[in-house]
Amino acid sequence: MENSNSILAVKNLTKIYGQEPNKVVALDHVDLDLAAGEIVMLMGPSGSGKTTLLQLLGGLEPPTEGKIKVRDGEWQEFYREPEVSHYRRDMIGFVFQFFNLISALTAEENIALPLILAGQPKKKITTLTEEMLHLVGLSERSKHRPRELSGGQQQRVAIARALIHNPAILLADEPTGNLDSRNSIDILELFLNMRDKLGQSILIVTHDPYVATYGDRVVLFRDGRIVDEYSADQIVGENRSERSLYIMERLQSISNEPRSK
Ligand SMILES: Nc1ncnc2c1ncn2[C@@H]1O[C@H](COP(=O)(O)OP(=O)(O)OP(=O)(O)O)[C@@H](O)[C@H]1O
């Protein structure tokens, strides 16, 4: 449901790849809302449409049907240039499993890149880059190249780069999928920190029920549809381990239900 605190609203979003007889309905009339400062975890079996949703929200793929509204903007039925490029540049930050940093650039150059490409003044770039380096705890590593940083540090650089232009939404596809458990927790704490300090709204795709315990809400997908969702206070358990078991059981139960089509 749309409310005054909504940063993202999605209506009827549908993505069909290919044509009969090879047609794949990757996303099937999805409605979703994200409140400002909310962290939502997207989960579901492989092929259930989670990455497709992020690609549509990120303006990387055109929807077949449906519309998207971000911040106080108009409803958008992408894909039109130059609007979709402006939307991506202004509204969206993206974080990936494999960091996707530019290996020849230092941490600070990677972080500054979106502002450099947008032609922002040098002084503003320097100030904001220093602020972001500080926020992600990498001020001491500003001159290091990606290969001189640990996986967790590289992901911190990627998060700083994704947030430097103050996007409405941060989209993260398996952001801890390539990290050990200690680094995963550090990155999840960083997301919480970004939510608390910047009011950042974040959508995270994950297969890991423990990761999902860091969400304010967990949304379960199957066959391109949202089939269930739980707010953090509906997730039963005394601690993260118990809550992750609860999420795992819910996931298993939707995976085992007979297909509706
Ligand atoms: N470019 C494409 N062309 C054709 N089919 C595609 C394309 N991209 C995705 N699909 C199909 O759309 C469906 C949804 O894929 P998607 O990657 O969104 O699922 P997912 O839930 O993110 O899966 P996983 O958890 O394995 O990453 C799958 O059946 C997939 O094969």
Q: Does ligand 1 come within 6 angstroms of the Cβ of 201?
A: no
Judge if the beta carbon of residue 48 lies within 6 A of ligand 1.
yes
Asked if residue 261 is part of any domain, the answer here is: no
35 CB within 6 A, ligand 1: no
* Number of domains forming the structure of the chain: 1
CA nearest 178: which of 148, 203, 211, 200? 211
- Using most ligand atoms within 8 A of CB, pick from 15, 20, 23, 24 the residue to mutate for ligand 1: 24
140 part of a folded domain: yes
Residue 257 is classified by DSSP as: S
What are 52's two structure tokens?
């497709």
Tens of pLDDT along 145-178? 999 999 999 999 999 999 999 999 999 999 999 9
The answer, yes or no, to whether any atom of ligand 1 lies below 6 A from the CB of 73, is: no
pTM for this predicted structure:
0.94
Structural domain boundaries, residue 242: 6-256
E strand or H helix that includes residue 88: helix 83-91
Query: Residue 4 — pLDDT band, cuts 50, 70, 90?
Result: low
Residue 162 pairs in a beta bridge with none
Phi, psi of 142 (to 5 degrees): -60, -30
Residues 6+ apart with CB under 8 A from 154: 99, 101, 146
Contacts of 141 (CB under 8 A, 6+ apart): 107, 133, 148, 149, 153
Does residue 141 belong to any structural domain of this protein? yes
Distance (Å, whole) CA 235 – CA 230: 7
Which ligand 1 atom lies nearest to the CA of residue 51? Answer: 22
pLDDT digits (tens, 9 = 90+) for 215-242: 999 999 999 999 999 999 999 999 999 9
Atom of ligand 1 nearest to the CA of 52: 18
- For residue 177, being part of any structural domain is answered with yes
In a domain, residue 1? The reply is no
Mean pLDDT of 28-34: 96
52 Cα: distance to centroid of ligand 1 (angstroms) = 6
Give yes or no for residue 3 having a pLDDT over 90.
no
Asked if the structure places residue 69 within a domain, the reply is: yes
**Minimum CA distance residue for ligand 1 atom 4:** 17
Nearest to 14 by CA among 24, 6, 22, 4: 24
pLDDT of residue 175: 96
Domain assignment of residue 144, yes or no:
yes
Note the ipTM here.
Answer: 0.97
CB distance 26 to ligand 1 below 6 Å: yes
Q: Is 62 in the pocket of ligand 1 (CB under 6 A)?
A: no
**Shortest-distance Cα residue to atom 30 of ligand 1:** 47
Q: What is the CATH number of the domain that holds 50?
A: 3.40.50.300
For residue 27, the ligand 1 atom closest to its alpha carbon is: 14
Q: How far is the CA of 178 from the centre of ligand 1 (A)?
A: 20
**Worst-scoring range by mean pLDDT, 21-25, 46-50, 70-74, 209-213?**
70-74
Any domain includes 83: yes
Which residues contact residue 104 at a Cβ distance below 8 angstroms, ignoring those fewer than 6 apart? 145
